[in-house]
Amino acid sequence: MLLKKQFFVLYFLFFSFNLCNAQIEVAHVSAKDFKSLGFGAFLNFSIPVSEANYVTLEGGLQYFKDKDADKLTLLPVLAGYRYTLNQTGTGLYIEPNAGYTFSVADFGDYAGPSAGIGVGYLIDLGNIPFNFGLRYERSFGNTATNVFAFRIAHSFSFGRKDYY
């Protein structure tokens, strides 16, 4: 039984890394009484539904600290759909998404349902896929937040993939 569990975990990790993008971003948050520049990190799983389009699942962490030393941490969990405009799987894309954003703050409650949109460019640099993008996300919690971000991502892969 233990061997089956270990095999399942190993299979899940292998499958996940074939579909996963490690992302970093520089972001700006704007809320009622809080504005700050911060940074974030994400794991974005893209599951191909055609040669050029993907269903995406994403989880991440964004950290902000303002001039008064107040801190805000946002933890978005999102589902979306990445549509490449030229239908090749690379080039310009648009990615609407929705989900829920959890929060940890020195003040207020910023958690709530979220929706957003991203635009970006997918490029394959010698079998190393990169994603450069801009994203806007709004959280509709007790205190609404607006997050604008510039993102850079690289896909993990254990071999050449047909999709990324």
Using CB atoms within 10 Å of the CB of residue 135, give its burial: 0 to 12 exposed, 13 to 18 middle, 19+ buried.
buried
Region of poorest pLDDT, from 20-24, 31-35, 95-99, 125-129: 20-24
Is residue 1 very low, low, confident or very high in pLDDT (cuts 50, 70, 90)?
low
SS3 assignment, position 132: strand
Q: Is residue 164 part of a domain?
A: no
Report if residue 83 sits inside a domain: yes
Answer whether residue 162 is part of any domain. no
Classify residue 110 as exposed, middle or buried by CB count within 10 Å of its CB (0-12, 13-18, 19+): buried
Considering only CA atoms, give the Rg of the chain: 17
87: left (phi over 0), alpha (psi -120 to 50) or beta: left
pLDDT per residue as tens digits for the range 142-154: 889 999 999 988 7
Is residue 143 in a domain?
Answer: yes
At residue 24 the predicted structure's pLDDT band, cuts being 50, 70 and 90, is confident
The Cα 109–Cα 31 span in angstroms is 11
Position 163 in a domain:
no
CATH number at residue 131: 2.40.160.20
Task: Supply the pLDDT for residue 6.
Answer: 53
Structure-block tokens of residue 24: 């970093």
In a domain, 89, yes or no: yes
Q: In this model, does residue 50 exceed pLDDT 70?
A: yes
160 pLDDT above the threshold of 60: no
Whether 107 is covered by a domain: the verdict is yes
Q: Provide the domain limits for residue 11.
A: 2-155
Instruction: Return the higher-pLDDT residue of 127 and 102.
Output: 102
Is 161 within a domain? no
Is 11's pLDDT higher than 50?
no
Number of domains in the chain: 1
The answer, as to whether pTM is greater than 0.75, is yes
